[in-house]
Structure 1
Amino acid sequence: MKHLPTTSTAVTALHYIDYQCSNRVATITLNRPEKRNALNYQMVSELKQAFDTAEDDDECKVIILKAAGPVFCSGADLEYLQTVGNSSYADNLDDSKHLLQLFYQIYTLKKVVIAQVAGTALAGGCGLATVCDLTYAAPSAKFGYPEVKIGFLPAIVKVFLLRKIGEARAKELLLTGDLISAEKAKAYGLVTEVMPENQLDTFVRDLAERMCLQNSGQSMEVTKEMIAHVQELPLLDALEYAAERNALARATDDCQLGIQAFLDKQSMIW
């Protein structure tokens, strides 16, 4: 049985992002409420730093992404976007890839990332909720990709949205630019569950801590990796890959410990 760490750590060199870790759950909070948590270059950089910190933190097993203020994230900071739009193509490509790297980082992170959405999530902000492994929302939350309404493109986010909800629903959201309710987002597969706002914080925190206690971190990491990878493979290749991972998993310490605990009728605390 492993001891449960209760220490809390913070990353101090962040301006727009808060980072805390306690009881093996890291909480990354968007903290630019006066700008509706809009994403500029620095905020994206700080998010990347916070996720790097969580991934490298041995005391962290599950990550919660949430936001301060009434808006989860309004997407790109339009004033910033207008400024960089007057730069060279090369500069704009570098800036675009900066956001791409953040989304890819979250999607492929070794640790489970849970989005907690208690306000509107627009464009790149909706993209943040999309790339997380699980997304829990308050009934008042709204989701949407309104880029086409301002002559912009939902370019990077659509790659992940197509994977998550399929072409028909993705086309509806991306081509109309309309917002949808949390309940509709759940029906589309964009949101995992809708929770009463006064229960959302406690529910997500309890879920994260329960996953830390009940689940093997190694198993969650490999399962997440496989979910992403098998979608890239032809059917027979995907099955072969799955069989190989199945065989490798049987010899791991975590699998041996978990099976023995089950056979001994003991509760495994990871």
Structure 2
Amino acid sequence: MSLILYEVKEHIAYLTLNRPDKRNALNSEMVQALTTAFRKAAADELVKVIVLKANGKVFCAGADLAYLQQLQNNSFEENLADSTQLADLFRLIYTLNKVVIAQVHGHAIAGGCGLATVCDFSFSVPEATFGYTEVKIGFVPAIVSLFLIRKTGETRARELLLSGELISAEKAKSYNLINYVVEASTLEEQVVSFARQLCEKNSAQSMALTKHLIADVQSLPVEDGLAYAAQMNAKARESDDCKKGIAAFVNKQEIKWL
């Protein structure tokens, strides 16, 4: 059985967590399969947007318990290599050259919540809960902290990471952890509609450059950040998409990106 299902329809790649019997819990094999799938989508010229979803009742329950028990027997070097694998996956999603949308149909906990955190957009059903429960089992939500602080600010990140409490989808939205809360009956329809809108109305080159800009500029001092932003602006002007878009705008023509 494939841990990650991969399908492309109308320029949208669907990556589906496919370990429902384990609540789509993460282990080394699952993380590697996700990494491979995201890299495949990133390299596919037919793909403009990626949707991350899951089979079963739960989006992702975090780390697999048997996997956590196994890690206790690892050396520091082995655990560091394993942790780096997850860090590489989160970095890949966060900086990917394609927009990534999380379609959360059930609970997203610990590492599962981390997956939703690093996506560009997250849609959730009202019944789903979110949270980082690592401190409740003596663990540390280390890797996700970098992205969570950027997304929600330090106050909310401290609340979520130090309390380990689960929060509702509505509260997650109010914390800027996710973007939209929609009914389960319309979740897939709304995600697909939103993804298609991005494909049809936005330049793929512009979205890729904008993602890199957001990821990089926050860590720079003001002067360096402005210099970097100016370089990105100049780079964008040289792109084929920018030339096409400006020409269409000047000539009052409809811009078609597909």
Alignment TM-score > 0.5, same fold: yes
- What residue number does 1:170 align with? 157
Distance 1:129 1:176 in 2: 19
Q: CA deviation at 1:261?
A: 1.0
- Name which of 116, 136, 146 aligns with 2:133: 146
Amino acid at match of 1:42: E
- What residue number does 2:256 align with? 269
CA RMSD of aligned residues (A): 1.0
Q: 1:103-126, CA deviations, whole angstroms, 9 ceiling, x for partnerless residues?
A: 111111111101111110000000
Tell me if 1:130 matches 2:124: no
- What residue number does 1:235 align with? 222
Distance 1:131 1:144 in 2: 14
Q: CA deviation at 1:90?
A: 1.2
Amino acid at match of 1:205: V
- Name which of 142, 147, 156 aligns with 1:155: 142
Aligned residues: 257
TM-score (norm 1): 0.93
Distance 2:119 2:221 in 1: 25
- What residue number does 2:237 align with? 250
- What residue number does 1:192 align with? 179
Q: Contact 2:209 / 2:236 at 8 angstroms: preserved in 1?
A: no
SS in 2 for 1:72: coil
Tell me if 1:259 matches 2:246: yes
- What residue number does 1:4 align with? none
User: Identity percentage over the alignment?
Assistant: 57
SS in 1 for 2:59: strand
- What residue number does 2:78 align with? 91
Q: CA deviation at 1:85?
A: 1.4
Q: CA deviation at 1:70?
A: 1.1
TM-score (norm 2): 0.97
Q: CA deviation at 1:244?
A: 1.9
Distance 1:266 1:224 in 2: 27
Tell me if 1:26 matches 2:13: yes
Q: 1:170-227, CA deviations, whole angstroms, 9 ceiling, x for partnerless residues?
A: 0100111000001100000001111111111011111111111111100000000000
- What residue number does 1:5 align with? none
Q: Contact 2:123 / 2:181 at 8 angstroms: preserved in 1?
A: yes
Amino acid at match of 2:165: D
Q: CA deviation at 1:165?
A: 0.5
Q: CA deviation at 1:31?
A: 0.7
Q: CA deviation at 1:61?
A: 0.8
- What residue number does 1:54 align with? 41
Q: 1:3-61, CA deviations, whole angstroms, 9 ceiling, x for partnerless residues?
A: xxxxxxxxxxx721101011110000001011000001111110001001100111111
Q: CA deviation at 1:248?
A: 2.4
Distance 2:37 2:235 in 1: 31
Distance 1:243 1:90 in 2: 41
- Name which of 180, 183, 193 aligns with 2:167: 180
Where do 4+ consecutive residues of structure 1 move more than 4 Å? none
Q: Contact 2:106 / 2:125 at 8 angstroms: preserved in 1?
A: yes
- Name which of 93, 100, 105 aligns with 1:106: 93
Distance 2:195 2:233 in 1: 25
SS in 2 for 1:69: coil
Matches within 5 A, 1:71-82: 71-82=58-69
Distance 1:89 1:237 in 2: 37
